[in-house]
Amino acid sequence: MIRWADKLYLGESIEGRKEKVMKSVESGKLTYAIFCITYASNPDNLLDIISANELSFPYYQKKEIHIIGLAGSKSEARELVRVMIEEIYRETGGFSVKEYF
């Protein structure tokens, strides 16, 4: 099950097509170069970057996935994560991602 953050961060390449990309991700359609930024699956990490195509794998079908960002390339996703982490630290003085959202 996919859950979307109220404040969804978007890479520049996604901004004009947010709704279309979200529908593609939810329906499990194969997408070219769409990366999702989610809460970390490992408690030692802050966030995960995964290809939207991976969400169709059985492992993810059984999990609740919270998507907090979308990007059109891996490098754009990394840059978006940097922006997000800097904002979280600036606003809270820490790195508590789940509490921030």
Q: Beta partners for 4?
A: 67
In this structure, are residues 67 and 4 in contact, taking their beta carbons and an 8 Å threshold?
Answer: yes
In this structure, are residues 100 and 42 in contact, taking their beta carbons and an 8 Å threshold?
Answer: no
pLDDT one digit per residue (tens) for the chain, 101 residues:
899 999 899 999 998 999 999 999 988 878 888 999 999 988 889 999 999 999 888 888 888 999 999 999 999 999 999 999 999 999 888 888 888 78
Q: Residue 63: which residues within 8 A CB-CB, separation 6 or more?
A: 1
For residue 23, give its domain range: 2-100
What distance in Å separates the CA atoms of residue 27 and residue 46, rounded to the nearest whole number? 27
Using a 10 angstrom Cβ sphere, with 0-12 exposed, 13-18 middle and 19 or more buried, the burial of residue 95 is exposed
Q: What is the reported pLDDT for 43?
A: 87
Q: What is the reported pLDDT for 92?
A: 87
Q: What is the reported pLDDT for 28?
A: 81
What distance in Å separates the CA atoms of residue 91 and residue 86, rounded to the nearest whole number? 9
Q: What is the reported pLDDT for 53?
A: 92
**Pairing, β 47-51 against β 65-71:** unpaired
Does the pTM surpass 0.85? The reply is yes
The number of distinct structural domains making up the chain is 1
Q: What is the reported pLDDT for 76?
A: 97
